[in-house]
Structure formats: structure tokens, C-alpha cells
Amino acid sequence: MGTPTNERFAAVIVAAGQGLRAGQPVPKQFALWRGKPVVRHSAEALLVAGAAPIIVAIAAGHEEQAAKALAGLPDIKLVAGGATRQASVKAALEVMASDAPDAVLIHDAARPDCPPEVVERLLSALDSRPGAIPVLPVVDSLAIDASGLMAGSAPREQLRRVQTPQAFRYSEILSAHRAWQDEPNAGDDAQVARAAGLAVALVEGDERLRKLTFAEDFMTALPYPRTGTGFDVHRLAEGEELWLCGIRIEHTHGLAGHSDADVALHAVVDAVLGAVGAGDIGMHFPPSDPQWRGATSSRFVDHAVDLAHRSGFRIGNVDVTLICEAPKVGPHRDAMRARLAELLGVGIEAVSVKATTTERLGFTGRGEGIAAQAVATLVPLERI
């Protein structure tokens, strides 16, 4: 048997439930979590892991919601789910039969945070077993309930909490689903596999794979605010336009650079990118790329803000400090704040623009250039 991580594997995402206990205005798989629909998180994680195709089982009537939630993602196919979870999985597995993969991951959409390390452990386990599931130990004592009274205890040392995704050799799990004849309420695919006599390995799971079930799960899932800093410098030169904070200012000299050299916006972009761990402006808009020659820096800000939104954040506030002897910033401060607020999609009260000098010390003191530093705080989209 080959190494599964080098073989082709597909994935099934079960997203056909109603999720009523989650208290969301839509089925929980389509509700927003960290700025994106829950099911999109699951699909993106499996795509990054290398799964293709991904078959998403959805309930009838939710085709439009599913298509919108998964828009733009490659190798995604939708299939109508059945009356039970087992029927939905079987329908998705049947779609793959004409171009069968070697292995398949079966995942609940309601577990949006899927660590790649767990996927690797699952696929590696298929070297020696036809199935593998991620599990975690039970840490609390367990009691057997008999009409509200304790009737006994269960040995927690032998029990495990089962998670998804669950991994199987495709042909064997398909056969197991086709043969399933027990009560139509299989809790997961490991149960279907065991009923068919398949050995299912246990691998280490992860607390990040917890299932979103109740309304409070969506509240506690909110990420913490993020803060990033940015710093930039550009040289003053004759014959150049001077752009600061998206505003053109009349001055004897302008800032030289590959783009419009708006030193303030460049610092803001680096601050926003830093807050979401997305590198710096040079990584996204390298000076060696001729398409950015003379480009307006507002395009860079748009890109950074979009990345923040896609990461589940919006701009909370931005504080910019310009370091120069000239021009005087005061007369332009309100216009700069208004333009920055427009670009960042926030109120003007969330934008600060300050200026200072270096007491004629250094390159800024000699009037050779302008420096800018920025601090950006991002807050979760769910807290808008």
C-alpha cells in the first residue's frame, strides 16, 4: 500500500443540516464566523491540505446560499444531501465514483478550524488501516443518567471524543455506505465503517476542531483585536508631486519613489498588513514590478483593507505621524484625515494624523526626505 500523502485524496463536507441550536439567522454552516461563512473556512482548509475535488452536501433549497458562501473556490461541487447524515455522505461519495480518488476525508462543515497537522496524521494512518479518525481524551468524570439520578459511571480512560475530518480509503468507505442497513442515524462515518468490518485507527485530534453548536460558540469564536505598525521613508526631489495621506500638496519638492511615493499611506499599509501577519508592502507590490510605476498608493490601501476583511477584521483606528521640517501639515490635517477615513472605511474620528520635526537633525531635519510611522488596530468583523 502506498503512502496516502502522495496519493490523490478528495473530501466530503457535510453541510445539509439546519443547525437550529446555534441561534443564527441562517443555518450555521452559512453563518459568519471570523468574517466568512463557516462552510467556507472548512473548504479552504481542505483545499490548502490538498483535497480535490471537494463535494459539499447541502439541503434542498440552499443552493444559492452555498454557491455564494463558496464563490471563487476551485474544485468545489455541490450535491443534494439526504434525510440523514449517512445518506448525505453516501450521495457525495457516489459523485466521485466515475473518477475515484485513493482516499477521502469526510468533514463536518461546523468544524471550521481544521489544522493541517491533523490531516497529515489521518492520511499517514491510512498506510496501515482503511480508516482513521481524530480523537481527544475525556478529562471529566462520567456518570450514567437514569431519570435524573446517577446510576453508575463510565471508564473515561477507555473513552475518546471523536472529531472530524475522518479519513478512509475511498473504495472501502463507499462500499460500507452502500451496505449500511442499520437504523438511519449513524453518528459519523467511523460507525458506518465499523459496521462493515473496517478497522479504524485513532490519531491525535486537536481542540481547534471543536464543533460550533450553540450561539455562544459563535461569540467565543471571535478573534482578539490585532495591532500592527508601519514605517516608511522617501526622498524629497525637485520635479516630483508631493502626496501625503492621499492628498496632493503644493510644495517646492515632491517625494521620489516607484509609485506616487505617498510615505504616509505606505506606512499605513504596512501597519494593516502587519496586523494580519501578511508581510509588508514590498511583498505585495515589489518595486521591481513595472506595473506599479507611478501607481496611486490608494490602491495599496484598498488591497490591505481587503486582506484584513478576508482575514475576519476591519479597521478599528489608525494613528499616523509624519516626520518632516516642511511642508507644514497643520493646514492639511483635516483633509488628510478625511481621505484616510474614506480609504479605510471608517469614521474620521478613528483617524489621527500628527506631525513632528527632528529639530533639524538627520535627513528629515535637513529637508532631504520625509518619514512616516503608523499604528493600526484591527477589530473582528463580527463586532461591527
Mean of pLDDT values over 289-302: 88
Same domain assignment for residues 328 and 303? yes
Q: Cβ neighbours of residue 319 under 8 Å, at least 6 residues apart?
A: 352, 354, 374, 375, 376
In angstroms, what CA-CA distances link 34 with 217, 289, 318, 372, 378?
A: 12, 33, 21, 31, 13
Residues 46 and 167 in one domain: yes
Residues 97 and 36 in one domain: yes
Confidence of residue 1 (pLDDT cuts 50, 70, 90): very low
**Do 83 and 134 lie in a common domain?**
yes
User: Quick one: 279 and 343 in the same domain?
Assistant: yes
215-263: per-residue pLDDT in tens?
Answer: 777 765 556 799 999 999 999 999 899 999 999 999 999 889 888 999 9
Over residues 72-86, the mean pLDDT reads: 94
> What pLDDT digit, counting tens, does each position of 96-155 carry?
999 999 999 999 999 999 999 999 999 999 999 999 999 999 989 989 999 999 998 888
Count helices and strands (H / E) in the chain.
12, 19
**How many domains does one find in the chain?**
2
pTM of whole model > 0.75?
no
Taking each helix axis as running N to C, give the angle between helix 116-125 and helix 38-49, from 0 to 180 degrees, rounded to the nearest 10: 50
Kindly state whether residues 180 and 273 are assigned to the same domain.
no
Residues of the domain holding 266:
226-383
Summarize pLDDT for 308-334 with one digit per residue, the tens.
988 888 999 999 999 999 999 999 999
Does residue 384 have a pLDDT over 50? no
The CATH code of the domain that includes 179 is 3.90.550.10
pLDDT of residue 58: 96
- CATH number (domain holding residue 312): 3.30.1330.50
The pLDDT value given to residue 2: 38
pLDDT at 80: 95
Do 14 and 132 sit in the same domain of this protein? yes
Domain end residue (candidates: 220, 244, 262): 220
Instruction: Judge if 205 and 302 occupy the same domain.
Output: no
Are 106 and 212 contained in the same domain? yes
Domain-ending residue, one of 200, 220, 240:
220
Same domain, 281 and 300: yes
